Chains A and B, each alone.
Chain A
Amino acid sequence: MDWFVISLINGAVYGLLLFLVAAGLTLVFGMMGILNFAHASFYMVGAYAAYALSSVIGFWGGLLIGPLIVALIGLIVERYLLRPVHKYGHASELLVTFGLAFVFQELIKAVFGQFLINYAIPDSLRFSAFTVFGTPYPFYRVFVALLAIVLFVALIALLRFTRMGIVVRAAVQRPEMVGALGHNVSAVFMLTFGIGAWMAGVAGAVGGALLTTSPNMALEMAILAFVVVIVGGLGSLTGAFFSCLIIGLLTTFAVSINVSLADIGRFIGLGDTLAALGTVATLKLSTYAGAMPVLVMLLVLLIRPSGLLGERK
């Protein structure tokens, strides 16, 4: 029972961290149709910026200013690199952001070196929030989870209840009409991209300390972020939220499940046949826990291609 509760909490926290990274991507990919391969690079730059700033103005300063720097970079990228390419279609946008991802990685390596750096959780946040069945649960993880929930609510509120949010949503669906009504559609897109980049920066600033900070961190997160967006549905922030939780929980629970296909097969008398097959059939589920996100994506694409709560096709 305690295993279940702990896995539940850990899975939820992991899922919420994923959401921090993927929310920005959903916003940009889903609502604007821009395939941003460099989104995970914003995550990485956020971590490094926060690290660099934290040695000067402390962890909280880094958390506040770092993502703003990333947002600025995002605005510049949208205005000067993506806007000219809009008219050539999604493929061109993808290529530009793909190249950008490489550029960011090399720049980070050139400035900070190619090995791990020690971006650590500040001592002021290193205590346990509560104990679960005798195991202390670190506060920082709870902090990350709460931050993700707060940002989710704020983002939904921004999009649903503010004038700017309505303009953004309308501009995505009917850009010419919104332009004709006098709104500056280009500025709206630029702002949305900037917000997406900002969120990735926040994710990096908190995630870099929780996990590890190295030039390879973008690659590790990129795949997960895209999987989340696809499973949740392109264009749905709520969908992304739920898919993050599902993926986080599944991955965490899978680690604790030491059954393999062959074991399950035993219940229907196919145990020995499956065991004789070897390899995949005898692998414990815990061994391919890392593949869970991709398996879920496969399932969703087969059954419901538009994602859990998706609106675009």
Chain B
Amino acid sequence: MISTKRIVKFAVAASFVGLAGSVSAEPLKVAIIDAFTGPIAIIAKPFAEGTRFAVKKINAAGGFNGQPIQLLEYDNQSSPAVAADKLKQAIADGAKIISQTSSSAIGAQITEDVRKWNERNPGKEVIFFNNGGEAYDYTAERCHFYYFKLASNAFIRYRAIVKTMKERGSLGSKVYTINPNYSYGQESQVAQIEATKEAGAQVVGSDLHDLLKVQDFSPYIGKVKSSGAQTILTSDWGTDIILMLRALGDAGLKIPVGNQSLDTPGTLASAGTAAEGAILAKLYNTNIEKGQAFNEEFKKEYGHLPAGEEPTSVFAFGLLGNALKMVDFKGGPIDAKQIALAIEKASYESPGGKWSIRKEDHQVLMPVYISEVSKAARDKHDGTQYGFKIIKVVSPEEAAVPVSPKCKMQRPS
């Protein structure tokens, strides 16, 4: 005979289960595993600001799955080994979306670790949402279904730069390339040489140097001078590009430089007058007319214009936000596969053009803004008298480079 006491106990227990069911809405956790300390922290800062800005906006509009999106931040201390460790921690903490931006080497580590985790843990997949990091092989040999490249790559940038310089007549017939000797620099070298040949010019010299170790760039400038080059293409960043531009200025050599890192905080201020006339390919330029509202909104939040890579993160996570609107887990557990399928179909209207994902290799298609370091730009950068004057806006279709034949993406069943 079941006693009344037992029935009451059972009823109470059952009601708790019912209550528990209604508070189990899983929040979406996004983990930023980036270099917040160390020599490359300078690169990560603008990306992180953009991400925080975008996630805050999504949460202000209601978040996802009935909960605000949680942004977890982990410092990888500019080291791939630490990054691998933090990735394990992030996954253990329940993150479903991983972001890393500042180093292609660290990103390579993370994309491989994510791929292996997903293979070994079906049903618990995580997405590597790469809103920075320009290596091309992420969408070539290393491509996999749960990886999304929300940034450009060396081929997109240098093709756009060289083409525009050729159209303006400032490319000349002889080009010299100088790059740091690691994955990103080596790829940039290949991209620069390819783009130069496509434009019908000749590469008269190519140099790879130790990353952030060279104190004196004058020997390299000496080589450039004796080669008779009329343009320098370089993917150097941080202290490297500053020292190189200074050496260029010291040598009195007035030739245009094609680069993409002059908008990193502190770079333009330290490079000084030597940077004038340099050409960059940016993924957003604050000087476009349609960008005013976005510029103001960002400035209100962070006290400065989104003149660096902040917009890359903002638009990337804006696209994620649009993807999230397409899935509904009704408060239940989050399935990364559904989110990934939604991201493939999602797009985002940035102030200057549409961002969308190419299904074959998960590379984002977006407009590229060829800009020139000039006093004539409206928005000044880094406390200097220079800003990034827009020379040309290249449409997403024109900017895109073909899918790499090396990408063999295995789609989930």
A211 at the interface (CB under 8 A from B): yes
Question: Do A10 and B219 touch across chains, with their CB atoms under 8 A apart?
Answer: yes
* Smallest beta-carbon distance B324→chain A, Å: 33
Answer whether A3 and B215 are a contact pair too, CB < 8 Å, given A211-B243, A287-B209, A289-B210: no
Question: Do B252 and A3 touch across chains, with their CB atoms under 8 A apart?
Answer: no
Answer whether A135 and B243 are a contact pair too, CB < 8 Å, given A14-B215, A128-B252, A287-B181: no
Chain B residues 187 to 210 lying within 8 A of chain A, measured CB to CB, are 207-210
Smallest Cβ-Cβ distance to B45: which chain A residue = A115
B222 at the interface (CB under 8 A from A): yes
Give the docked Cα–Cα distance between A118 and B156 (Å): 31
Task: Name the B residues within 8 Å of A220 (CB-CB).
Answer: 212-213, 215
* Smallest beta-carbon distance A295→chain B, Å: 13
Question: Do B219 and A255 touch across chains, with their CB atoms under 8 A apart?
Answer: yes
B72 at the interface (CB under 8 A from A): no
* Smallest beta-carbon distance A66→chain B, Å: 19
* Smallest beta-carbon distance A260→chain B, Å: 12
Give the docked Cα–Cα distance between A3 and B251 (Å): 13
B287 at the interface (CB under 8 A from A): no
Task: Name the A residues within 8 Å of B252 (CB-CB).
Answer: 128, 135-136
Question: Do A286 and B207 touch across chains, with their CB atoms under 8 A apart?
Answer: yes
Question: Do B220 and A115 touch across chains, with their CB atoms under 8 A apart?
Answer: no
Question: Do A115 and B272 touch across chains, with their CB atoms under 8 A apart?
Answer: no
Which residue in B181, B219, B243, B253 is a CB contact (below 8 Å) of A256? B219
Give the docked Cα–Cα distance between A14 and B243 (Å): 13
Question: Do A290 and B209 touch across chains, with their CB atoms under 8 A apart?
Answer: yes
Smallest Cβ-Cβ distance to B181: which chain A residue = A287
Question: Do B209 and A138 touch across chains, with their CB atoms under 8 A apart?
Answer: no
* Smallest beta-carbon distance B20→chain A, Å: 45
Question: Do A138 and B250 touch across chains, with their CB atoms under 8 A apart?
Answer: yes
A54 at the interface (CB under 8 A from B): no
Give the docked Cα–Cα distance between A177 and B196 (Å): 72
Task: Name the B residues within 8 Å of A251 (CB-CB).
Answer: 216
Answer whether A136 and B226 are a contact pair too, CB < 8 Å, given A14-B216, A116-B267, A255-B209: no
Give the docked Cα–Cα distance between A252 and B37 (Å): 31
Task: Name the A residues within 8 Å of B58 (CB-CB).
Answer: none
Give the docked Cα–Cα distance between A304 and B215 (Å): 28
Answer whether A116 and B42 are a contact pair too, CB < 8 Å, given A212-B239, A214-B239, A287-B208: yes
Smallest Cβ-Cβ distance to A251: which chain B residue = B216
B39 at the interface (CB under 8 A from A): yes
Of B218, B225, B250, most buried by chain A (CB within 10 Å of CB) is: B218
Question: Do B218 and A10 touch across chains, with their CB atoms under 8 A apart?
Answer: yes
A273 at the interface (CB under 8 A from B): no
Give the docked Cα–Cα distance between A7 and B219 (Å): 6
Give the docked Cα–Cα distance between A286 and B214 (Å): 12
Give the docked Cα–Cα distance between A157 and B243 (Å): 35
Tell me the total A-B contact number using a CB cutoff of 8 A.
Answer: 98
A216 at the interface (CB under 8 A from B): yes
Answer whether A2 and B210 are a contact pair too, CB < 8 Å, given A118-B270, A255-B220: no
Answer whether A289 and B209 are a contact pair too, CB < 8 Å, given A135-B222, A135-B251: yes
* Smallest beta-carbon distance A132→chain B, Å: 10
A291 at the interface (CB under 8 A from B): yes
Give the docked Cα–Cα distance between A199 and B270 (Å): 25
Which residue in A136, A212, A214, A291 is a CB contact (below 8 Å) of B251? A136
Which residue in B213, B222, B238, B242 is a CB contact (below 8 Å) of A6? B222
A130 at the interface (CB under 8 A from B): no
Task: Name the A residues within 8 Å of B208 (CB-CB).
Answer: 284, 286-287
A288 at the interface (CB under 8 A from B): yes
A117 at the interface (CB under 8 A from B): yes
B41 at the interface (CB under 8 A from A): yes
Give the docked Cα–Cα distance between A223 and B361 (Å): 43
* Smallest beta-carbon distance B273→chain A, Å: 10
Task: Name the B residues within 8 Å of A137 (CB-CB).
Answer: 250
One digit per residue, 1 when the CB lies within 8 angstroms of any chain A CB and 0 when it does not, for chain B 92-104 equals: 0000000000000
* Smallest beta-carbon distance B102→chain A, Å: 13
Task: Name the A residues within 8 Å of B41 (CB-CB).
Answer: 114-115
* Smallest beta-carbon distance A74→chain B, Å: 24
Task: Name the B residues within 8 Å of A287 (CB-CB).
Answer: 181, 207-210
One digit per residue, 1 when the CB lies within 8 angstroms of any chain A CB and 0 when it does not, for chain B 127-168 equals: 000000000000000000000000000000000000000000
One digit per residue, 1 when the CB lies within 8 angstroms of any chain B CB and 0 when it does not, for chain A 129-142 equals: 00000011110010
A and B contact pairs by CB, cutoff 8 A, 7 listed: A3-B223, A114-B37, A116-B238, A118-B270, A136-B250, A289-B214, A291-B210
Taking A115-B45, A117-B266 as given, write out 17 further A-B residue pairs in contact, using a Cβ cutoff of 8 Å, ordered by the A residue number.
A10-B219, A17-B215, A114-B42, A115-B41, A115-B265, A116-B242, A118-B269, A128-B252, A135-B252, A136-B250, A136-B251, A136-B252, A141-B250, A214-B266, A256-B222, A286-B208, A288-B210
What are the 7 tightest A-B residue pairs by CB atom distance, in nearest-first order? A290-B210, A116-B266, A255-B219, A138-B250, A290-B213, A118-B269, A212-B239
